[in-house]
């Protein structure tokens, strides 16, 4: 029986797990690095343990330190969140060897689905549709080139041990092939210590659709419907929604059935996500299975009314699922915007520094999962995502309207973020109509139309902005200021979130 949970993670996902544990009256333990000594998650838990230097390779990724922290505090279960050790089969086994419950799937399932070529081979043996391409890792460039010529360009080169868009290249022409393969292998080696790659057909107008599944240790597997995850930059998701506006009832039934079949094929239990590519003709192909909780799980929770973390804990305890497939119904629509410390006006480059002002959006249908606050430092040591803004409505237009309102009233200063990009998406005709695919950024995004200025530009306009703020404060006839504006002393730098004039 789970009595105390150590959360082997940081930031918003650590707090998210701890919130459910509190509701279940389960004490929690946080772990933190040097960089996170003042972090929210370290203060939110019932107990906290320092585990090392700022670099994740010397703290959050050191399995022995996590296990020692659990033993030291008497935690008999570990929730890995996502990222870090969440899909590490060795860590799952290490937990088992130390009589600690790993709140996740069995290690054999993590192993099977973590190796993309092994996963493709398994899916092929169960007649699950795959994109045309190689099933096994490629031995040499000539072999890869031959397969690419057979399936036709463009092709996608992908890391066998990959994920998160790393070790991936789209190759449009034969003369780009060798350099593309070398680039993918080099990036895969650096990211995963494994340079194996495989090739698959790059689909036209592809949609990235995923199915959330939950399975217990008694053979019960159900799905919690679909998510559309096609708004991406560098093959990484930025905006997700549930359900997908592209998936019709017929495809939804087919793809959900395939997802359940995939989970059963690898003996899966706990929460997991089966990801698919869907072409313009609504043919679906298995992409991969993520053997953990997904970043975008809140949209599924909102449209199904379930707590996925609670279900993970119940399953880890050995309980049966508390409902059947027919009990799960879709209600309304939910959208998630990932708020990352990146500058969308400058190729989404990372932005670091101190958050000088933070005020989260309020109102009906708004949920914010975050691990930062005013004064928090955003460093280069960890993933740049600092918050997830989620809105819910009885239908898609209502969810979009609430997201626009929430983004426009989200006050976050001191660093550049993806807030203006997410707002751009919400207002774009392609997204509003629901007619978009994974090429959205390439086909539709224009940084010049963001309506925001970079921090460098803001510095030069600080005096003008300050004068304008005073003018508006003195005059209440036709306009009012919405958002925040602040002129910092010492450098005259203007930092702000949304600042606009709105007619009364």
Q: 235 with 202: CB under 8 angstroms?
A: no
3-class secondary structure per residue, 114-157: HCHHHHHHHHHHCCCCCCCECCCCCCCHHHHHHHHHHHCCCEEE
How many CB atoms neighbour CB 316 within 10 A?
22
* Rounded Cα distance, 487 and 489, in Å: 7
H helices, E strands: number in the chain: 16, 24
Q: 26 with 74: CB under 8 angstroms?
A: no
Q: Which two tokens stand for residue 472?
A: 């508006």
Q: 271 with 212: CB under 8 angstroms?
A: yes
Strand 349-350 versus strand 377-378 pairing type = unpaired
292 catalytically annotated? yes
Q: 481 with 469: CB under 8 angstroms?
A: yes
Q: Which of 373, 385, 455, 456 has the alpha carbon at shortest distance from 422? A: 385
Beta bridge partners of 133: 200
Q: 26 with 313: CB under 8 angstroms?
A: yes
The active-site residue, picked from 169, 227, 233, 292, is 292
Q: Which two tokens stand for residue 217?
A: 């240790």
Q: Is the peptide bond before 265 cis (omega within 30 degrees of 0)?
A: no
CA distances from 447 to 231, 433, 451 (A): 15, 21, 9
Q: Which two tokens stand for residue 257?
A: 């059935």
Q: 463 with 492: CB under 8 angstroms?
A: yes
* Rounded Cα distance, 266 and 161, in Å: 17
Q: Is the peptide bond before 243 cis (omega within 30 degrees of 0)?
A: yes
Active-site amino acid positions: 292
């Amino acid at each position: 029986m789970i009595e105390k949970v150590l959360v082997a993670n940081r930031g918003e996902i650590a707090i998210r797990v701890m919130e459910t544990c509190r509701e279940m009256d389960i004490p929690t333990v946080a772990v933190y690095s040097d960089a996170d000594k003042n972090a929210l998650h370290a203060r939110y838990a019932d107990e906290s343990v320092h585990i090392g230097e700022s670099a994740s390779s010397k703290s959050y990724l050191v399995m022995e330190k996590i296990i020692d922290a659990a033993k030291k505090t008497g935690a008999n279960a570990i929730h890995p969140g996502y990222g870090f050790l969440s899909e590490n089969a060795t860590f799952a086994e290490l937990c088992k060897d130390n009589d600690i419950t790993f709140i996740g799937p069995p290690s054999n399932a993590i192993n099977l689905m973590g190796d993309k070529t092994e996963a493709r081979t398994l899916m092929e043996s169960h007649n699950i549709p795959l994109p045309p391409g190689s099933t096994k890792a490629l031995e040499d460039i000539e072999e890869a080139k031959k397969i690419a010529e057979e399936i036709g360009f463009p092709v996608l080169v992908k890391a066998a041990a990959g994920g998160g868009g790393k070790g991936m290249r789209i190759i449009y022409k034969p003369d780009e092939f060798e350099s593309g393969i070398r680039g993918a292998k080099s990036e895969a080696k650096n990211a995963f210590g494994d340079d194996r790659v495989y090739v698959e057909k790059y689909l036209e107008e592809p949609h990235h659709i995923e199915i959330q599944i939950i399975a217990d240790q008694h053979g019960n597997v159900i799905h919690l419907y679909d998510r559309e995850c096609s708004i991406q930059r560098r093959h990484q998701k930025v905006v997700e929604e549930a359900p997908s506006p592209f998936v019709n009832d017929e495809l939804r039934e087919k793809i959900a059935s395939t997802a359940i079949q995939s989970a059963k094929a690898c003996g899966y239990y706990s929460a997991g996500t089966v990801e698919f590519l869907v072409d313009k003709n609504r043919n679906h192909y298995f992409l991969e299975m993520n053997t953990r909780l997904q970043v975008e799980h809140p949209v599924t929770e909102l449209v199904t009314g379930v707590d996925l973390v609670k279900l993970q804990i119940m399953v880890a305890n050995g309980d049966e699922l508390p409902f059947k497939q027919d009990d799960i119904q879709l209600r309304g629509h939910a959208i998630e915007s990932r708020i990352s410390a990146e500058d969308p006006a400058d190729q989404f480059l990372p932005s670091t520094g101190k958050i000088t002002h933070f005020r989260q959006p309020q109102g009906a249908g708004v949920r914010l999962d975050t691990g930062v606050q005013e004064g928090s430092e955003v460093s280069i040591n960890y993933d740049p995502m600092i918050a997830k803004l989620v809105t819910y409505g009885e239908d898609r237009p209502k969810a979009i309207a609430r997201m626009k309102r929430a983004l426009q009233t989200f006050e976050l200063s001191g660093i550049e973020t993806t807030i203006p990009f997410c707002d751009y998406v919400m207002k774009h005709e392609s997204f509003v109509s629901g007619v978009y695919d994974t090429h959205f950024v390439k086909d539709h995004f224009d940084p010049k139309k963001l309506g925001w200025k970079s921090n460098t530009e803001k510095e030069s306009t600080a005096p003008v902005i300050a004068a304008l703020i005073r003018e508006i404060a003195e005059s209440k006839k036709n306009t009012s200021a919405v958002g925040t504006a602040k002129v910092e002393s010492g450098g005259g730098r203007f930092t702000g979130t949304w600042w606009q004039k709105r007619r009364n």
